Amino acid sequence: MQEVISAIKKSGVPFTPNTPLHTYTTWKIGGPFDLVVLPRSVEEISACTRIFNSAGIPSMIIGKGSNMLVSDEGFHGAVLRLSGAFDTVSFRDDGVIAGAGFSLITLSLQAVEYGFTGLEFAGGIPGTVGGAVCMNAGAHGSDISQTLSRVLIMNETGGLKTLEAKDLIFGYRNSVIQHKPWVLLEATFSLLQGDRNAIVERTKLFKEKRMRTQPLKQPSCGSVFRNPLPLFAAEVIESCGLKSIGGAKFSEIHSNFIVNTGEATAKDVLALIELAEERAKQEHSVTLVREVQFVGFNERVL
């Protein structure tokens, strides 16, 4: 790893070694990463990728860490957090182009300021634009696929390619990007001008509903499981009477949220997830499917 760090230093890409990952996740849980790099351009992503591949070092991209559980042992490899040109936004007459590293909440709020409708639902979803597109994030009956026009990706050979929304084969909290070794660089959304007062009011109502129905004052990753439609994961979990393991607890406000009460470990969270899956299957014949990405664990949890 020291040789990799030396090569990154020579490339000029900002980095930090031995980074505690709990500072990068909304659960505030996770052991150290060997290396975190902050590429600011396509050229810097390419440079980092070449260095990691040459050294045989595993690597991954993270955004705001809002849909991720990092093991207590951490991740022995390199992490890329897109910055610079990937943390920008540009509004046009018919919508907006946002970098993959740009905050989804900020994008939603800025769209409101410009009088655009279509992203109000995203005003309370933590994470980046890139992460939201990859998982087709949604709320209040809407999701990313309904307004996304196209994306720019870097493929496995380092080439740049524009893909139309239909090429991403969106599903419920899913897209083809999750299953490809691509780097999503930017996303273009087609938005419509609307009545700004009505848009502001709708955004306000969504925010108030989140404040009432989600444990926003405690560290969590958001929803842990996909809804087993037509049922809701929260209803299934609540009916099982599940509470807590160690410092991890199913929220009393929203049962599909596991909150860190202060001293939770990744081991606690994983045990609670597995217990919920077991009980849902036994008591309701329901298979709960995880939304959470697991980092630094063995194959058993995947």
228-259 tens-digit pLDDT: 989 999 999 999 999 999 999 999 999 999 99
Q: Is 73 known to be catalytic?
A: no
Q: From the candidates 173, 175, 202, 255, give the one annotated as an active-site residue.
A: 173
Mean pLDDT computed over 71-75: 92
Q: Spell out a b/e string for 151-166, using b for 16 or more CB atoms within 10 Å of the CB, else e.
A: bbbbeeeeeeeebebe
- pTM (predicted TM-score): 0.88
Nearest C-alpha neighbor of 122 from the set 3, 32, 195, 207: 207
- Secondary-structure class of domain 2-81 per CATH: alpha beta
Q: How far apart are CA 88 and CA 254, in angstroms?
A: 33
Written as one letter, the residue type at 236 is V
Pick the CATH number of 87-213 from 2.20.28.10, 3.30.465.10, 2.60.40.1260, 3.30.930.10: 3.30.465.10
What is the residue extent of each domain of the chain?
Answer: 2-81, 87-213, 233-294
Give the max Cα distance, the chain. Answer: 57
For residue 101, which phi and psi values (nearest 5 degrees)? -90, 0
Instruction: State the pLDDT at residue 37.
Output: 95
Q: What is the mean pLDDT of residues 273-279?
A: 97
Question: Is 251 considered catalytic here?
Answer: no
User: Is the predicted pLDDT of residue 165 greater than 60, yes or no?
Assistant: yes
Residue 300 — very low, low, confident or very high, per pLDDT cuts 50/70/90?
A: very low
What would the pLDDT profile of 85-127 be if each residue is shown by its tens digit? 999 999 999 999 999 999 999 999 999 999 999 999 998 898 8
State what percent of residues in the chain have pLDDT above 90. 83
Q: With H, G, I as helix, E, B as strand and everything else as coil, classify residue 78.
A: strand
Residues 25, 46: Cα–Cα separation, whole Å: 25
Number of CB atoms found within 10 A of residue 235's CB: 15
Band of pLDDT at residue 302, cut at 50, 70 and 90: very low
CB 258 within 8 A of CB 273: yes
**Are 2-81 and 233-294 in the same CATH fold?**
no
Q: Are 155 and 45 in contact (CB under 8 A)?
A: no
Among residues 59, 83, 223, 251, the one annotated as catalytic is 223
Q: Is 291 a catalytic residue?
A: yes
Return the CATH number of the domain spanning residue range 233-294: 3.90.78.10
| Confidence at residue 1, expressed as pLDDT on a 0 to 100 scale | 86
